[in-house]
Amino acid sequence: MVLRLGTDEPELMRTYHRGPDAVVTEEALTVGRRLGRSFALRDLDPDQLTITKTSSGNIAIFIVLLVLVTSVLGCMSVTHLVLYGNWWVGLGGVALAIVIFAAAQVPLYYKDDDIYVLMGVHRGVRTQLYSSSSEARTFQIWYAVREALENGPATALDDQQP
């Protein structure tokens, strides 16, 4: 038994999706396990629900940092070779820079994690409603919200019409 929003009477509420990190009922989308955010479906614009795919970008930052370190190490080694004439230190530094640069290319072969984000207009503001690395789960949430909006109680937009 669940209390409906704004009433003290217990009533059964239809659940469209119940997962480990989101629940979609006929009245709200609740995201998060402990300190979850809740979005009243009546405040969502049904025509503005979209899913976007973004990349986490962790590998790109890693490669940029390694290339920067490699460049600095290579320049320092060549400078040491020219200024002090120690050819073995200079060549060793350049060899180490080449090895680090080659190692930086290895993550390019691994797929970066994509993040799927469910966006919507909530109370007139474009808002991130849900995000996950699972495309299937994000589409399940999107579908459940769409179904709840179609079958659920009237939206706030309907209340504004005469």
3-state SS string over 135-161?
Answer: HHHHHHHHHHHHHHHHHCCCCHHHHCC
Residue 139, pLDDT above cutoff 90: yes
Q: What is the pTM of this model?
A: 0.57
Exposure of 45 by Cβ count < 10 A (0-12 exposed, 13-18 middle, 19+ buried)? Answer: middle
Distance of alpha carbon 114 from alpha carbon 53, whole angstroms: 7
Q: DSSP secondary-structure letter at 110?
A: S
Q: Are strands 10-11 and 15-18 parallel, antiparallel or unpaired?
A: unpaired
Higher pLDDT among residues 105 and 139, named by residue: 139
pLDDT at 141: 94
With H, G, I as helix, E, B as strand and everything else as coil, classify residue 99. helix
HEC assignment per residue over 7-65: CCCEECCCEEEECCCEEEECCEEEECCCCCEEEEHHHECHHHCEEEEEECCHHHHHHHH
39: β partners: 29
What confidence category does residue 117 fall into, taking pLDDT thresholds of 50, 70 and 90? Answer: very high
Mean pLDDT of 85-90: 67
Written as six digits, the tokens of 37 are: 């955010």
Domain extents in the chain: 2-55+113-159, 58-109
Radius of gyration of the chain (CA): 27
Instruction: For 10-67, write each residue's pLDDT tens digit.
Output: 557 788 989 888 999 888 999 987 657 899 999 998 899 999 988 765 566 666 667 7
pLDDT of residue 35: 59
Mean pLDDT (the chain) is 76
Average pLDDT over residues 67-71: 72
Architecture of the domain defined by 2-55+113-159: Roll (2.30)
Nearest in space to 125 (alpha carbons), one of 39, 27, 51: 39
